[in-house]
């Protein structure tokens, strides 16, 4: 079987950009969130989450970084860490045992997993290797860290690969779920590079293309100061939500198929050949382009 993926995220007191590998690896862990997935992300095999009993030293470290402290207060994590029952929270060893129990219950004996998530190569995996040695023994040598791909995609395209959540919760399991959402979007993007052997329903392709077209033609009109009519197209985020998780090749195929149907319908209504309709559209586009210049 393909190696399962262990998506994992830790919440802690924060690390500085200047911190080296040793500081990062030994940084305190306040919360653990883990989701075990099949390699193709088609199935969740199980999950585990817990807040970890903090040391007073770790809390002092947290209080020394105001923006991280504010973040954990806003998420509710700080209240749990400092509440009256904080002494009853699991220790880090017990949290590690919880993750190992998940692996033992859902996987064949001795099956290793690949750690995955955002920033796991710099942050989470080094912490596991130093502070959770039993779990480290269950990891493959590599990792699947999507942070670089996310940043590169936004740099090139100008927007994130999936619409961002209204606000990042900065709670471990929610952040893991968001990492999986991003990885699925990248997987669909990679799958879209395969132009043959697609299995998407042709009708579904056309309906998607039609939905996107409908969004573009839904607009408000108003007159500007010069008396010219101005059109406001649907917000890009609406279009982006329709495209989420859809390979690019499927979108192109859907528009091509829908365009073919429209050309044939228009040709039939005008009692002309489809090629005549295409020629007319081409001429109109060239004329409009000349007017713009």
Q: What are the chain's domains? A: 5-191 (3.30.420.10), 202-292 (no CATH)
Work out the pLDDT band at 158, boundaries 50, 70, 90: confident
Residue 196 pLDDT > 60, yes or no?
no
Give the distance from CA 259 to its chain's centroid.
Answer: 31
Q: What is the DSSP string of 37-52?
A: E-TTSS-EEEEEEEE-
The pLDDT of residue 216 is 67
The pLDDT of residue 123 is 93
Q: What is the DSSP string of 56-75?
A: HHHHHHHHTSHHHHHHHHHH
Best CA proximity match to 171, nearest among 32, 25, 27, 29 = 32
223-231: list long-range contacts, CB under 8 Å, 24+ apart.
none
What is the distance between the terminal CA atoms of the chain, rounded to a whole angstrom? 59
pTM of the model: 0.69
d(CA 52, CA 30): 5
d(CA 125, CA 131): 10
Q: Average of pLDDT values for 115-127?
A: 95
Mean pLDDT comparison of 136-140, 157-161, 283-287, highest-scoring range: 136-140
Residue 279 pLDDT > 70, yes or no?
yes
Query: Where is pLDDT greater, at 188 or 241?
Result: 188
Place of tokens 């000349």: 290
């Amino acid at each position: 079987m393909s190696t399962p993926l262990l998506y994992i995220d830790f919440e802690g007191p924060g690390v500085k950009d200047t911190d080296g590998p040793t500081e990062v690896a030994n940084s305190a862990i306040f919360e653990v969130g883990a989701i075990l997935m099949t390699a193709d992300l088609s199935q969740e095999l199980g999950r585990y989450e817990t807040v970890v009993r903090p040391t007073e030293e770790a809390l002092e470290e947290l209080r020394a970084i105001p923006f991280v402290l504010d973040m954990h207060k806003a998420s509710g994590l700080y209240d749990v860490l400092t509440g009256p029952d904080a002494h009853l929270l699991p220790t880090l060893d017990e949290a590690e045992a919880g993750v190992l129990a998940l692996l033992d219950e859902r996987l064949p004996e001795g099956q290793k997993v690949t750690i995955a998530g955002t920033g796991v190569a710099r942050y989470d995996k080094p912490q596991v290797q130093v502070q959770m040695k039993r779990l480290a023994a269950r990891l493959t040598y590599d990792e699947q860290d999507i942070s670089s791909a996310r940043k590169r995609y936004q740099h090139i395209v100008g927007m994130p690969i999936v619409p961002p959540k209204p606000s990042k919760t900065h709670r471990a399991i929610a952040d893991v779920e968001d990492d999986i959402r991003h990885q699925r979007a990248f997987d669909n993007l990679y799958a879209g590079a395969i132009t043959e052997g697609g299995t998407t329903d042709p009708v579904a392709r056309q309906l998607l293309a039609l939905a996107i077209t409908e969004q573009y033609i839904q607009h408000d009109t108003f007159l500007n100061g010069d008396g010219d009519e101005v059109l406001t197209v649907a917000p890009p985020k609406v279009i982006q939500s329709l495209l989420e998780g859809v390979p690019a090749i499927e979108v192109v195929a859907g528009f091509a198929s829908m365009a073919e149907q429209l050309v044939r319908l228009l040709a039939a209504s005008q009692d002309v050949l489809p090629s005549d309709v295409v020629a007319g559209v081409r001429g109109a586009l060239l004329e409009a382009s000349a007017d713009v210049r």
